[in-house]
Amino acid sequence: MLLPAKTEVARHLEQYRSWERLLLVAPMDHAVRGNFENAGYTLCVLMGKRCAREAVDAAEHYLRGGRRAPGDSPATPAPVAAPASATTSVTGTRGRRTPGAVTAFPPPERAVRPGAVPETGQ
């Protein structure tokens, strides 16, 4: 499979990161959001991914020297089990009780409110 030039990947990744930072500063700016989404789409095309997040991860791996082809997916992390309090039991269509689960996401370690600028930790 043909791989993109590393200089092009690096340039588009830097553009994506720049628009990402601007979007965090001004989340309601439609021009910034559009440019951010365009930069993500360009990375998707370059890296052969369907999601901008996956394309960014693949681009970073490729630039670090990894030889992962654009269509290959990285090893998937193990799913996080929902706490016992998040599962419920649902009555099925024939009266049988079938297990159901309420989707529970663990709280982010460092949440950022919309419109707020995240701390860099430096």
Which residue did the predictor score with more confidence, 67 or 66? 66
pLDDT, tens only, 76-112 = 444 555 555 444 444 555 555 555 544 444 455 555 5
Q: What is the DSSP string of 44-88?
A: HHHHT-SSHHHHHHHHHHHHTT----TT--PPPPPPPPPPGGGEE
Q: Is residue 40 a contact partner of residue 16, using CB atoms and an 8 Å limit?
A: yes
The type of residue at 71 is G
Predicted TM-score of the model (pTM) = 0.55
pLDDT, tens only, 16-39 = 999 999 999 999 999 999 999 999
Domain ranges of the chain: 6-63
Q: Is residue 89 a contact partner of residue 97, using CB atoms and an 8 Å limit?
A: yes
Q: Is residue 101 a contact partner of residue 88, using CB atoms and an 8 Å limit?
A: yes
